[in-house]
Amino acid sequence: MNYVLGIDIGGTKVAIGLVGEDGVLYHQAKIPTDVKANPEDVIHQLFGGIDTLIEQSGVQFEKIHGIGIGAPGPLDSKKGLITCPPNLPKWHDVNIVHLFKEKYKLPVRLENDCNAATLAEKWIGAAQPNEDFMYLTISTGIGSGIYSDGRLISGKSGNAGDVGHMMIDPSYGTCTCGQKGCWEWIASGTGIARQGSELLGRPVTAEEVFTLYNQGDLSVKEMIEPIFTIIGAGCTNLINAFDPEKIVIGGGVSKVGDPLFKVVQSYVQKYALSPSGRETQIVSSGLDHNAGTIGAAALLFQIEHAIDNTCSR
Ligand SMILES: [Zn+2]
């Protein structure tokens, strides 16, 4: 069996794992991220964690064919740089690909974490049969991955698919990015928690808002249902722009399940412009919390043909 080392860099931890060519995560570890530490120190700590993982796994180093890294954007996947992610404030223009290549002498690819998760959906998730689909994650923010004509659309610097800052309704107020009415300002978990807190007059999480919603709280229902419609409107924008066969939705907010998916599906059926667009399937992600690590490994494994990325050359 051949393996790829998948690395999923997050704001609070880095998940590392040895993923087999069958898409199974065989060995994994989680390393806490100190956002205040220098990135070079964090990376050296990572090297230590990786060496220990490989040693304890019993996998021979020769069986590891490469390293895939998923990281929060903005980044520059073509240059191998983590540019300036908001949840890793000290990471400015860190050439993570170069550092990993120097240390392990293996091919290394970097993509934003959402694009990596998109490849995991194609590899082992809900989009295996599809050559045209979108992955949408609705959690702290909203992000997407665009898989079109059989390949991941990465953009000039690897930041394509940042649809959370697509303007949807300026009446909802000013987003953290400065623009009014961004999709994620309204419909992300953070946005739902903010509006729920304003409604209830106390700080609540999105999860608590959904608990009240499931209990039939009328005022919460009046707040949430327009947000489901707004998720449907955003999906319709994506369908009109990219003509996918399917939109796979993951992330914490998608866990509310049927009530959301029914509203989105019926909005799309009504308002997508083309007859084929109106038939776009809206489905939930088939992957669990390991999707980030598996997606990072997918950057190397089965998608060689599907991505044009100069990092490994
Ligand atoms: Zn915004």
pLDDT of residue 303: 56
Domain 126-284 sits in CATH at: 3.30.420.40
The three-point CA angle 131-122-294 to 5° equals 160
- Check residue 176 and report its DSSP letter: T
pLDDT of residue 36: 82
pLDDT of residue 307: 46
Q: How many whole angstroms from 108 Cα to the centroid of ligand 1?
A: 31
Mean pLDDT by 10 residues, the chain (313 residues): 93 90 94 84 92 96 95 88 82 92 95 92 94 94 94 90 95 94 96 97 97 96 97 98 97 93 98 97 88 92 51 37
HSE toward the beta carbon, residue 5, CA cutoff 13 A: 31
Q: How many whole angstroms from 45 Cα to the centroid of ligand 1?
A: 33
pTM as predicted: 0.88
Q: How many whole angstroms from 159 Cα to the centroid of ligand 1?
A: 15
Q: How many whole angstroms from 181 Cα to the centroid of ligand 1?
A: 7
Q: How many whole angstroms from 27 Cα to the centroid of ligand 1?
A: 37
With CA atoms as reference, report the closest residue to 143 among 165, 122, 123, 128. Answer: 165
For the chain, the structural domain boundaries read: 3-112, 126-284
Q: How many whole angstroms from 141 Cα to the centroid of ligand 1?
A: 10
3-112 and 126-284: same fold?
yes
Q: Does domain 3-112 have CATH number 3.40.50.2300?
A: no
Question: What is the rounded CA–CA span in Å between residue 272 and residue 127?
Answer: 21
